[in-house]
Chains A and B, each alone.
Chain A
Amino acid sequence: MTNKKNNSVTLKMRKRVRSAGRYTFLSIISLLSIFPLYYMACAATNMSVDVIRGKLIPGTYVIENFKNLLAAQNVASAMFNSFKYATICTLVSLVICSLAGYGFEIYHDKAKDTIFSVLLLAMMVPFAATMIPLFQMFSSANLLNTTMGFILPSISTPFLIMMFRQSARSFPHDLIEAARIDGVTEVGIFFKMFFPTMKSTYAAAMTITFMNAWNNYLWPKVIMMDDKSITMPMLIANLTSGYTTDYGSLMLGVFMCTIPTVIVFFVLQKSFANGITGAVKG
């Protein structure tokens, strides 16, 4: 009797220790994940000297940092460029890839399936291997320093097509048949029925594409030779090339480069998780 009671007590204890361990571990990892970003936000609002001294409380020096940043680099133009490239790239990419994913699944036959599996191979092609020919092609087509030049290599990706193809699989065929009988055109079915029901897939695709386009560094570094065409990641990379680093304004630049993608992620977070689940399922 007492033995049994003891047993259940130790079991309960063990459970409690285990659960405490789990919370501690998760808390430490969360803290480590957030800390560098907290450091960035603090440094962006403090004087460079204070950042070096290790001050870890948000300060009030943000306006001065901003003035120094503006004096060093053309932030407005880089911000505008990054928004322009990333937004156009995302919109075009979503339309083209969702059309293709839908086409590959709904109208699939042997030929289309074969083409799809060949396209998947493009996922394996490292960017370094296509970068030089692309640069040559784009410079002879006068696409250097242009939005078109920025977006063309990244608007159609096998990953996105696969994602939309996967979600089109769960789109009921009966609905399509019924709409056809009602006289809705094929394009109409896509835009009026598929598009509204696949919101979470679009949200996930949007998050991924916008983040990739915004964060892209190698390709714009290759083709944006004009100072007026550079992006935010290029701008903050330029900030570090001087002899002495003004940590305050540098981190403010880093902060400004980070905030748009963080906002996109938070706004679309819920649908993002759902969309990824739908894509991994298949």
Chain B
Amino acid sequence: MNGRKKKITLAKKHNLTGWAFLVPATLLIVVMSFLPMIKAFVLSLKTGIGVTMKWAGFLNYIRMFKDTVFMQALKNNFIYLIIQVPIMLILALILASMLNNKDLKFKGFFRTAIFLPCATSLVSYAIIFRSLFAVDGLVNTILIKFGFLHTGYNFLGHATSARIIIIIALIWRWTGYNMVFYLSGLQNIDYSVYEAAKIDGASPFQTFWKITAPLLKPTILLTTIMSTNGTLQLFDESVNLTNGGPANATITMSHYIYNTSFKYVPNFGYSAAMSYLILILVAVLAFVQMRVGDKRD
């Protein structure tokens, strides 16, 4: 009897310890993420500046669909998403399956080299790429030296080339990051499966599509959701590589939201409404991707 009572209090004590362990982190996420999220929604229904804000209903939401700059930003985010994310993920997958080969030499060197861009800060690499592709930058110098061009081409001054450079830069920065996730996923696949496939005469291409890709599906889903999320929130590159230009051709939604809240006359209500569109897009796309990811089973 006495022993049983003691056991119950011990279980209770453990339960309380458990709560004490997780309360600080939980509270922080509630106050720093969920609470601001609710506040942002309330804010998005208001209009005006500072303390003189008035209720506006869904006016802000209607306004953003008539705002040509925001629509351009939305389009840009989707251009980056649709072109950059698939190229990057497929490249990362190919590199990871190549590096997973047991007979490969210099594996450590290749892995480190390909991951190295991820150790660079976003502002740093944006400035490096901006310098490389500047009118007097290295790429133009080389093109002129070899006679492809007479004078420097303003890569960042033309809409299409500026977008392509942002995409190239993004691929450079993030491929290695995704590759690390695939490499870890591949380590959980028994290597004998590959040896069996080799004995059966499967080509590397077949092995890749029939074994690697299906077994890595959970990791592929994870990286797709992470990349989608990241691409919809692009900020540093837009600000530091192209400054949104030329004429807003490369501006992203986050960049425009920053401008409308902290650079121009602050319009917090309108900015909050636009930020809610990003939230909805992220949630909807993650949901769709999870559905599609499950279906292929």
A residues contacting B by CB (< 8 A) are 18, 22, 25-26, 29-34, 36-37, 39-40, 43, 51-54, 56, 96-97, 99-100, 102-104, 106-109, 112, 115, 119, 122-137, 152-153, 155-158, 161, 186-187, 190, 211, 214-215, 217-218, 221-222, 232-234, 236-237, 240, 245, 247, 250-251, 254, 257-258, 261-262, 264-265, 269, 273, 276-277, 279-281
- Which of A126, A161, A218 has its CB near the most chain B CB atoms (within 10 A)? A126
Bound-state Cα–Cα, A186 to B257, Å: 46
Instruction: Kindly provide the distance from the CB of A27 to the nearest chain B CB, expressed in whole angstroms.
Output: 8
By the criterion CB–CB under 8 Å, are A155 and B110 in contact? Answer: no
CA of A81 to CA of B261, assembled, Å: 25
With A103-B22, A136-B39 given, can you name 20 additional A-B contacts, CB distance below 8 Å? A96-B25, A107-B14, A107-B18, A112-B19, A122-B33, A124-B229, A126-B275, A129-B37, A129-B278, A132-B40, A133-B37, A133-B43, A134-B36, A161-B25, A187-B17, A217-B123, A262-B119, A276-B180, A277-B187, A281-B184
Instruction: Verify B120–A115 contact, CB threshold 8 A.
Output: no
A contact face: mostly helix, strand, loop, or mixed: helix
When the two chains form their complex, are residues B123 and A156 in contact, meaning their CB atoms are under 8 A apart?
no
Distance in Å from the Cβ of B107 to the closest Cβ of chain A? 9
In this assembly, does B88 line the interface, its C-beta being within 8 Å of a C-beta of chain A? Answer: no
**Is A126 touching B95 in the complex (CB atoms < 8 A)?**
no
Cβ contact within 8 Å between B276 and A215? no
| B113 with A124: CB separation less than 8 A | no
Give complex CA distance A190, B233 in Å: 37
B90 within 8 A of A: no
Give the distance in Å from the alpha carbon of A108 to the alpha carbon of B14 in the complex: 10
Interface residues as binary, B158-197 with A (CB distance below 8 Å gives 1, 0 otherwise) = 0000000000000010001000110111011000000000
A273 & B114 in contact (Cβ 8 Å cutoff): no
Which residues from A are CB-within-8-Å of B268? 132, 136
Q: Which of B123-138 contact A (CB under 8 A)?
A: 123-125, 127-132, 134, 136-138
Q: A128-B257, A137-B36, A236-B123 are in contact. Are A29 and B95 (CB under 8 A)?
A: yes
**Does B123 contact A276, Cβ atoms closer than 8 Å?**
no
Instruction: Specify which chain B residues have a CB less than 8 angstroms from the CB of A136 in the assembled complex.
Output: 39, 268
User: Which of under 10, 10 to 19, 20 to 34, or 35 or more describes the interface residues of B?
Assistant: 35 or more
A108–B275 Cα distance when bound, in Å, is: 35
Minimum C-beta distance from B8 to chain A (A): 15
Q: Which of A54, A104, A133 contacts B145 (CB 8 A)?
A: A54
Asked whether B288 is an interface residue with its Cβ less than 8 Å from the other chain, the reply is no
| Inter-subunit contact A254/B124 (CB<8 Å) | yes
- B235 to A217, Cβ gap below 8 A? yes
A16 to B53, CA, bound (A): 71
B240 within 8 A of A: yes
- Chain B 231-278 interface residues, beta-carbon cutoff 8 Å to A: 232-233, 235-236, 239-240, 253-254, 257-258, 261-262, 268, 271-272, 274-276, 278
Q: Mostly helix, strand, loop or mixed at chain B's interface? A: helix
Report the separation of the CA atoms of residues A25 and B275 in the bound assembly, to the nearest whole angstrom. Answer: 41
State whether A240 and B130 are in contact (beta carbons under 8 Å apart), knowing that A233-B123, A257-B121, A276-B184 are contacts in the complex.
Answer: yes
Q: Does B122 contact A (CB under 8 A)?
A: yes
Known interface pairs A29-B95, A37-B116, A273-B184; A54-B142 also in contact (CB < 8 Å): yes
Known: A29-B114, A99-B24, A273-B180. A129 touches B40 (CB 8 A): yes
Identify A128's interface contact among B29, B134, B278, CB under 8 A. B278
- Asked if A132 and B43 sit within 8 Å, CB to CB, the answer is yes
Closest to B171 in A: A32
- A18 and B26 form a contact (CB under 8 A): no
Can you give 27 A-B contacts (C-beta < 8 A)? A33-B114, A37-B116, A52-B141, A96-B25, A103-B19, A106-B18, A119-B26, A124-B286, A125-B34, A125-B37, A126-B254, A126-B279, A128-B274, A129-B36, A129-B275, A137-B39, A152-B32, A155-B28, A157-B29, A186-B13, A215-B123, A240-B127, A254-B127, A257-B124, A258-B124, A261-B121, A280-B219
Q: Which residue from B18, B29, B137, B180 sits with its C-beta under 8 Å from A103? A: B18
Report yes or no: B125 in contact with A36, Cβ–Cβ below 8 A: yes
Q: By the criterion CB–CB under 8 Å, are A215 and B40 in contact?
A: no
A245-B136 Cα distance, complex, nearest whole Å:
10
Contacts of B286 in A (CB 8 A): 124
Whether the pair B145, A237 counts as a contact (CB closer than 8 A) is no
Q: Kindly identify which residue among A33, A125, A233, A265 contacts B172, using a CB–CB cutoff of 8 Å.
A: A33
- Find out whether the CB atom of B32 lies under 8 angstroms from the CB atom of A54: no
Q: Is B257's CB under 8 angstroms from A217's CB?
A: no
A37 neighbours in B (Cβ, 8 Å): 116-117, 120, 128
- A100 touching B22, Cβ below 8 Å: yes
Does the CB pair A126–B113 fall under 8 Å?
A: no
Give A119 to B22 CA distance when docked, in angstroms.
11
Interface residues of B in 1-47 (CB under 8 A from A): 13-15, 17-22, 24-26, 28-29, 32-37, 39-40, 43
